[in-house]
Amino acid sequence: MINEQSGNYPAGDANVGAAVRLMGYNLTVHNAYFRNTASGTTSVGVQIGNSGVAPFYYPWTVTLGLKNSAGTVVRTWDTPWNLRTVQPLTIRNFPEWNAGADPSYRDFGYRQYFQHTVDLSGVAQGGYQWVMRVKNPLEAVSASAKKLRFANATQQADGWLGLGSVTVGTGGGTPVTYEAEASGNTRTGGAVVATCGACSGGAKVGYIGNGATLVVNGVPAGTRSVTIHYLSAVARTALVNGQSVSFAPTGSWDTLGSTTVTVTVAAGGNTVTIANPTGWAPDIDRITVT
């Protein structure tokens, strides 16, 4: 036992609660990304940080939802997001590391970006709130099972976290943005995620090319207009789903540019692949698909 007298502390003691939080994860959704008006297929993204001292260890499902004005969840979508990848932003140095005064800390993790595409078909027009929650499997067994809570002011008692308001309209769909660094994408070779102050999600994917690729997953099949938002201090080329595309220099590796191409997205694969087998491609912030 860590403390054999722990049973003597009242369950509602605020200091006890604070001490417990200091021993584990502390997850916060720092940003949410979505269109204020949407219809058809749209995407929802969140940026999650962990200011605690440990990761979240369980493979619990993260679910997105829509709440109407009465507070009723009218539609949900399970995501493939893995909260176990959200590592603590800082960790304490061990004395053996000889890092200076004790205690001292060093940067460790970073805010992770997650994105998921949802289909709003069948959702009635009107105003809603985007919400998300993490499913505790024990909730299916007992109503008293604890719900995972985020350290946000918009965390609700029923376990749902409010992300923001959206108006669902009609139409054949809106352009969908896919962040390059989203966890649902696939990077091969030496392609890596790097921080980027100019980028929409605060990060980009670099070192694409010379065999390394970026594969954006979950793109609707068909002939698509794809706008690629990129950064490159020099002229670069890349293959986008096998089609050669030229990228003009943007001025620096911290300056954004964009180019639009028409590509075919194969059914079943539903991917947009950016590659260059013989040279370097630009760094990629995101793509927008219509």
189-242: per-residue pLDDT in tens? Answer: 999 999 999 999 899 999 999 999 999 998 888 888 899 999 999 999 999 999
Percent share of the chain, pLDDT over 70: 91
Q: Tell me the fold of 176-289.
A: Jelly Rolls (2.60.120)
**What's the CA dihedral at 274, 279, 285, 286 to 10 degrees?**
-10
In 3D, which of 35, 33, 42, 221 has the Cα closest to residue 120? 42
Question: Model pTM greater than 0.95?
Answer: no
What's the CA gap between 134 and 52, in Å, rounded? 18
Work out the angle at residue 40's Cα, subtended by the Cα atoms of residues 37 and 43, and round it to the nearest 5 degrees: 65
How many Cβ atoms sit within 10 Å of the Cβ of residue 166?
20
Phi, psi of 272 (to 5 degrees): -120, 120
How many Cβ atoms sit within 10 Å of the Cβ of residue 285?
25
**Tens of pLDDT along the chain (290 residues)?**
334 444 565 656 667 556 655 668 899 999 999 988 888 888 999 999 999 888 999 999 999 999 999 999 999 999 999 999 999 988 777 777 777 777 777 788 889 999 999 988 888 888 999 999 999 999 889 888 889 999 999 999 999 999 999 998 865 556 889 999 999 999 999 999 999 999 998 999 999 999 999 999 988 888 888 999 999 999 999 999 999 999 999 999 999 999 999 999 988 888 999 999 999 999 999 999 98
**What DSSP element (H or E) covers 240?**
strand 236-240
Where residue 136 falls (left for φ over 0; alpha for ψ -120 to 50; beta otherwise) is: beta
What's the CA gap between 55 and 83, in Å, rounded? 8
Domain edges within the chain = 24-168, 176-289
In 3D, which of 234, 193, 217, 203 has the Cα closest to residue 274? 217
**Single-letter residue type at 240:** V
In 3D, which of 281, 288, 225, 283 has the Cα closest to residue 254? 283
Q: Provide CB contacts within 8 A for 144, sequence distance 6+.
A: none
In 3D, which of 55, 177, 42 has the Cα closest to residue 110? 55
**Domain 24-168, CATH homologous superfamily name and number:** Immunoglobulins (2.60.40.10)
